[in-house]
Structure 1
Amino acid sequence: MPLPFLTADRDLDTGAAETAALPHDEPDHWRRPYRPGPWRVGAAAVLLLLASFVLLSAMIIAMAGSLPGAAACAAVGALMIALALRLLRVGLWVSAQGLRQVNLLRTATEPWSAIAAVRTRQQPVRWLGLPRTVQGQALIIERTQGEPLRTLITDHNGDFLSRPEAFERAADVLEAWAAEHRG
């Protein structure tokens, strides 16, 4: 099964993407130009493990004869699976149409014409999305009108914690993609 989020990072590692911002032939498809980090994947795996236990308990409850309880457990299990899948999709996605910021509960899409600048900045950032802040780098996306987009990519989030070279590579790719399509 092809995993497109691995393709972009692998091609960047080998240097195959020097001519284009993203190394693929279909710029109209939404792509995340970096891999999900180990913290994000680990959290999703734990959620899926817990969901399997909840679904197993729903089956046991159903066999015991309590269908409303089994339905409630099955609904909680399905919600946990949906949350784990959404957690894996969180990040910045790019295409020829614009930049898409996927959060846990909502998605915002900005056309390239509405983006003034994409750059990195030293500032206090959240550590793994928790309230604790540390000094780090953040990818800032400024709009032509209005407030900048909410900071989603930092060197201390679930995708880039203890992987500073991956953050630099992803920031460079996003800046190049913006420069290529903004003009």
Structure 2
Amino acid sequence: MVYLILGLVLWTAGHFFKRLAPDMRAGMGNAGKGVAAVIILAGLVLMIIGYRGAEFINLWYPPTWTVHLNNLLMLIAVFVYGMSATRGRLRGKMRHPQLVAVKIWAVAHLLVNGDLASVILFGGMLAWAVVQVIVINRTEEWVRPEPGKASKDILLVVITLVLFGVMTGIHNWLGVWPFPG
């Protein structure tokens, strides 16, 4: 669990570096971006290693139907995350699509995992995303981008379905089949 918690701390510190120490980050120039990226990547690697190696300590038994809700929420999360890169009509409908997607992802995974490591990982990521939105909203003004072509939104749906399929395959490869039999 130490690696998992350390990973969460590094992930959070790397993401908050720009907003909590803007003068230090600006003084570092492009190297500041690199430092933040290395810290975030190290945090991600430690979270994965820590989660995979954590002792299973059960806190509750999620109902089996939550797997279906998880899958639906994950499909929505992938779509919402993709809204950040879309140039379609949906562009600008949401200020923080990536962070909203992380929140959806975290809640979806909390619904289907009742162990301590999952609560730490997914609860920690949910807390980080909530605080990140608050900090960004207080420190940066948002200029809503102009909407683009509807055809780009159709492309987003196709990309979402493909990425969801890839993510399902990765889960299967890791030994977690996301669709109950």
TM-score by shorter chain over 0.5: no
TM-score normalized by the length of structure 2: 0.27
Structure 1 or 2, whichever has the larger Rg, is 1
Structure with a larger share of its residues in helix? 2
Structure with a larger share of its residues in strand? 1
TM-score normalized by the length of structure 1: 0.27
